[in-house]
Chain A
């Protein structure tokens, strides 16, 4: 499966390994390895089928097809596709989980009021 091509989409290919803090103001597709933290406040993160992310993640939308280990905070929605393996707590407004996805962690659905109150 290849990543959707877009002018506003940054891609980390499957042979790329990154350790450290990742932040940005465009959507990000990770099919390689990232260890550390990822912050994309108003943009989306997609972990591709080969992606292995070991990081705390903060983004507007998060789609996981590969492996993600770390706590996840999405201001809009989280999608776990059938091949997703997620270990960590998820806080989001909306979540969809395909059959076959694996999740080890807490799911906390936060309403806009909760977010505003910082709960």
Chain B
């Protein structure tokens, strides 16, 4: 039992002793129960086909889960998209930032009020600061009124080395979490460019507190928090 608890608490804390060179190439998979996903589960069995947007790494499991229930799923990995070199620019103070206008000209190009559900997973925690608010604004506009968005946020106890995971839905309220592993080889992105950021993995950019989260989703109609034991808050917002 102790080892189970130990592993459970490590999920979002990461391992401070590891370096990229030491990271194994095989991706360890862990499961966790998700209250937020469970809350969404009542939608999955309805007769009307839903439009679902998955913003995590491409997941065959998620595609199977939704298409098997007759829903339409859209997949778009915004973390990978944010590593496009042409996005890098400087703000008025000369600080290096990502060009959010350009990012939104290339990504999240959907009609207004198109989606019933957006699965953000841990995107806001790992996305570059300059993109977080613009992306949330765009997500508000592509969600239908009454549509729901699920996002995960680390608590401050999670630590700066918290690993970035991809999420696979295995049951209505159970997720399989697969650490995004370090790759020795570079990988081509959607434009054919080589992404070294993938090779280096993604780092936690910040820790939102409750007030930050409420501000981030202030345009949404309601917000619901689920505090889990593994140093993560699940947030379900309704447009």
Using CB atoms and an 8 Å cutoff, list the residues of chain A in contact with chain B: 52, 67, 69, 80, 83, 85, 87, 95-99, 101-109
Given A104-B77, A106-B72, A107-B75, are A67 and B60 also a contact pair (CB < 8 Å)?
Answer: no
Q: Is the CB of A97 within 8 A of B72?
A: no
Which of B27, B74, B77, B80 makes the CB contact (< 8 A) with A99?
B27
What is the CB-to-nearest-CB distance from A81 to chain B, in angstroms, rounded to a whole number? Answer: 12
Q: Is the CB of A107 within 8 A of B189?
A: no
Which of B27, B63, B190, B192 makes the CB contact (< 8 A) with A107?
B63
Q: Does B120 contact A (CB under 8 A)?
A: no
Q: Is the CB of A109 within 8 A of B67?
A: yes
Q: Is the CB of A101 within 8 A of B58?
A: yes
Could you pull out 13 A-B pairs where Cβ atoms are within 8 angstroms? A83-B188, A85-B192, A87-B190, A95-B63, A96-B60, A97-B63, A99-B27, A104-B81, A104-B190, A105-B75, A107-B74, A108-B72, A109-B68
Specify which chain A residues have a CB less than 8 angstroms from the CB of B58 in the assembled complex. 80, 97, 101-103
Which residues 154-213 of B sit at the A interface, judged by CB distance below 8 A?
188-190, 192
Q: Is the CB of B72 within 8 A of A102?
A: no
- Inter-chain CA distance A99–B77, complex, in Å, is 14
Which residues 1-54 of B sit at the A interface, judged by CB distance below 8 A?
27
What is the CB-to-nearest-CB distance from A85 to chain B, in angstroms, rounded to a whole number? Answer: 6
- Count residues on chain B whose CB falls below 8 Å from chain A CBs: 19
- Inter-chain CA distance A106–B114, complex, in Å, is 12
Specify which chain A residues have a CB less than 8 angstroms from the CB of B74 in the assembled complex. 105-107
Which of A80, A83, A106 makes the CB contact (< 8 A) with B73?
A106
Specify which chain B residues have a CB less than 8 angstroms from the CB of A80 in the assembled complex. 58
Which of A52, A69, A96, A104 makes the CB contact (< 8 A) with B75?
A104
**9 closest residue pairs by CB, A with B:** A97-B60, A109-B67, A103-B58, A106-B74, A103-B75, A104-B76, A87-B190, A107-B63, A107-B73
Q: Is the CB of B188 within 8 A of A67?
A: yes
Q: Which residue in chain B gives the minimum CB-CB distance to A102?
A: B58
Specify which chain B residues have a CB less than 8 angstroms from the CB of A99 in the assembled complex. 27, 60
Given A99-B27, A103-B58, A104-B75, are A85 and B63 also a contact pair (CB < 8 Å)?
Answer: no
- Inter-chain CA distance A9–B67, complex, in Å, is 32
- Inter-chain CA distance A104–B73, complex, in Å, is 11
Specify which chain B residues have a CB less than 8 angstroms from the CB of A83 in the assembled complex. 188
What is the CB-to-nearest-CB distance from B190 to chain A, in angstroms, rounded to a whole number? Answer: 5
Q: Is the CB of A52 within 8 A of B77?
A: no
Specify which chain A residues have a CB less than 8 angstroms from the CB of B76 in the assembled complex. 104-105
